[in-house]
Amino acid sequence: MENTAQYKILDLFGNEQIVLITKAKAPTNLFSDYDGFLEKFELKKTTDDCYTPKEAMDIIVNYVNENYPLKNKKIIRPFYPDGDFESIDYTDDMVVIDNPPFSIVTKICKFYLEKNIKFFLFCPHLTAFSSDIDCTHIIASADIKYENGAIIKTAFVSNLFGDLKIIGEADLYQKFKILLSRSKANLPKYEYPDNIITVSKVAYCVEKGISFKINKNEAKHYRGLDSQKMHGKALFGSGFIVSDKAAELAAAAAELAAAAAELAAAAARKNKNNNTIVWELSEKERNIIKSLGTDNEM
Ligand SMILES: C[S@@+](CC[C@H](N)C(=O)[O-])C[C@H]1O[C@@H](n2cnc3c(N)ncnc32)[C@H](O)[C@@H]1O
């Protein structure tokens, strides 16, 4: 099956259908593609391998549908492991809506623009304007939590919006914000007694500039509280149960750290306005601006 790839067709209700295709490019073999062979065994951690949760996909499909009606269209999702978006037999009724590998998103857009294939694609937020391609950039400042737990600020790029170059989309921002807060709300926050020291407790103090030390004879390695065991839980990454004296010291350090965090936040708010550099437009740039929106573009 080395020479086959798959893509998915999605309907407006979120149902998926898998389509198998034959890759246009010849399969590589172990001798000519040893790096590719090794890569299969690597744990993938890049944005190229972040899978989109259904709830996030639903938001996007609904958004596209509101702006470009998808009735009688086939929603295509070409980007999967061993996929080959260039080998799909695209037809006029297809609209590609998917989260592609971010590292080749410009190449993908160029391919679709050249073949006149309709698309709406996820892309990296910070570098959303870095390629000069003839499409619409949709900035929603959307923090999307992908299946692997990574929260990545995501933008979108599309050729479904005619002459629009940039869309700042507050509605999408709100929808993804609500989705993220719902996923956070579903995660319980654990609080431990002062006598339990976890790595996170120490890290919190250190990051706010507060150091402290606990002697060996004040601490015993501990994997989980009895109250957790009955729920099948434990201390994540283990921790230490410590004497009252050490617990008091750590609690005092945490209080100092919280106060330091407050001060730092207030100072940051104050500094924010004093630290702005204003860049001016040149004569040349003013002339470019004059030419825009008219027929004598430079
Ligand atoms: C960011 S992941 C997203 C996966 C899925 N589309 C989603 O939204 O959950 C991008 C996927 O594209 C796949 N991919 C890489 N190159 C591709 C290509 N040329 N054609 C199709 N898929 C490719 C990667 O293996 C990866 O699984």
Q: DSSP characters for 201-218?
A: HHHHHHHTT------GGG
Give the Å distance between the CA of 77 and the centre of ligand 1: 9
> Is the model's pLDDT at 87 over the cut of 80?
yes
Which atom from ligand 1 is nearest to the alpha carbon of 108? 19
CA-closest residue to ligand 1 atom 18: 84
Please tell me if the CB atom of residue 154 comes closer than 6 angstroms to any atom of ligand 1. no
Ligand 1 test: best mutation among 79, 84, 98, most atoms within 8 Å of CB? 79
Give the Å distance between the CA of 287 and the centre of ligand 1: 42
Please tell me if the CB atom of residue 48 comes closer than 6 angstroms to any atom of ligand 1. yes
> Is the model's pLDDT at 230 over the cut of 70?
yes
> Is the model's pLDDT at 261 over the cut of 80?
yes
Please tell me if the CB atom of residue 98 comes closer than 6 angstroms to any atom of ligand 1. yes
Which atom from ligand 1 is nearest to the alpha carbon of 84? 20
Over residues 17-39, mean pLDDT? 62
Helix 199-207 with 244-272: angle, nearest 10 deg: 40
CA dist., res. 14 & res. 48, Å (int)? 22
Residue 34 burial by Cβ neighbours in a 10 Å radius (0-12, 13-18, 19+): exposed
- For residue 44, the model assigns a pLDDT of 46
Which atom from ligand 1 is nearest to the alpha carbon of 146? 9
Please tell me if the CB atom of residue 76 comes closer than 6 angstroms to any atom of ligand 1. no
Over residues 244-249, mean pLDDT? 96
Round the average pLDDT of the chain to a whole number and report it: 88
Any bridge partners for residue 168, and if so which? Answer: 139
Over residues 254-274, mean pLDDT? 86
- Least confident stretch, 28-37, 148-157, 237-246, 259-268: 28-37
Strand 94-98 and strand 74-77: pairing? parallel
Backbone angles phi and psi of 151, in degrees to 5: -100, 115
> Left (φ > 0), alpha (ψ -120 to 50) or beta: where does 82 sit?
left
Task: Give the percent of the chain with pLDDT over 90.
Answer: 66
> Which is more confidently placed, 33 or 85?
85
CA dist., res. 173 & res. 139, Å (int)? 9
Torsion angle of the four alpha carbons 8, 11, 15, 18, in this order, in degrees rounded to the nearest 10? -20
Residues 6+ apart with CB under 8 A from 195: 241, 242, 243, 244, 247
Please tell me if the CB atom of residue 52 comes closer than 6 angstroms to any atom of ligand 1. yes
Confidence of residue 119 (pLDDT cuts 50, 70, 90): very high
Cβ(152)–Cβ(105) below 8 Å: no
Cβ(47)–Cβ(105) below 8 Å: no
Please tell me if the CB atom of residue 124 comes closer than 6 angstroms to any atom of ligand 1. no
- Least confident stretch, 108-117, 209-218, 224-233: 224-233
Torsion angle of the four alpha carbons 138, 149, 205, 234, in this order, in degrees rounded to the nearest 10? 160
- For residue 203, the model assigns a pLDDT of 92
pTM of the model: 0.72
Task: Give the percent of the chain with pLDDT over 70.
Answer: 89
> Is the model's pLDDT at 99 over the cut of 70?
yes
- Least confident stretch, 17-31, 60-74, 137-151, 163-177: 17-31
Confidence of residue 188 (pLDDT cuts 50, 70, 90): confident
Q: What is the pLDDT of residues 34-67, one digit of tens each?
A: 455 445 444 444 666 789 999 999 999 999 999 9
Distances in Å between the alpha carbon of 276 and those of 93, 268, 282? Answer: 49, 13, 19
- For residue 30, the model assigns a pLDDT of 44
Dihedral (CA of 14, 17, 20, 24) sign: negative
CA dist., res. 77 & res. 220, Å (int)? 52
SS3 220: strand
Measuring CA to CA, which residue among 115, 152, 154, 112 is closest to residue 135?
112
Cβ(140)–Cβ(172) below 8 Å: yes
Give the Å distance between the CA of 6 and the centre of ligand 1: 11
CA dist., res. 294 & res. 298, Å (int)? 10
